[in-house]
Amino acid sequence: MFEITLVHPYSTNYNTVLMEAQEDQHKQARPEIKDLPDNLDEYDVIILGYPNWWASIPMPIAAFLEHYDLSGKTIVPFCSHGGGRFGQSLTAIAKLAPDSVIKDGLSVHYSGGSTLSSDVALWLEENGIAHN
């Protein structure tokens, strides 16, 4: 498991991060990710999680996707959101990973409800991913 964190993190203040994220999206910024793995050669399937930010992926996700040649790999996306479900995020991922297979995603409202674990289990099963 790799957690995407930044060399220069966004603010922890909600109103400030709203502005920072919007500005980064307008600029199509590619914030520098901390300790990126050299390559993803040993992985065929990438389960990619992110929050819906301004109806799309946060720009660090774009930086992550752009950093690697993901052709032939499978991406299984999931996102948390405040009501906007995936927004345009699946389109954005498809554009950044044009030669990857993108499987059915899972969107979760904030941190999910009481059915979260069964929702996740069903989603993994539907995508043919083994879990314990």
How far apart are CB 85 and ligand FMN at their closest, in Å? 7
The reply to whether 59 sits near ligand FMN by the rule CB under 6 A is no
Tell me which of 4, 17, 29, 124 binds ligand FMN, using CB under 6 A: 17
The reply to whether 6 sits near ligand FMN by the rule CB under 6 A is no
The reply to whether 98 sits near ligand FMN by the rule CB under 6 A is no
Three-state DSSP at 111 gives coil
Tell me which of 55, 96, 120, 124 binds ligand FMN, using CB under 6 A: 55
Q: How far apart are CA 1 and CA 22, in angstroms?
A: 27
| Amino acid residing at 84 | G
Q: How far apart are CA 97 and CA 30, in angstroms?
A: 15
The reply to whether 49 sits near ligand FMN by the rule CB under 6 A is no
Three-state DSSP at 101 gives strand
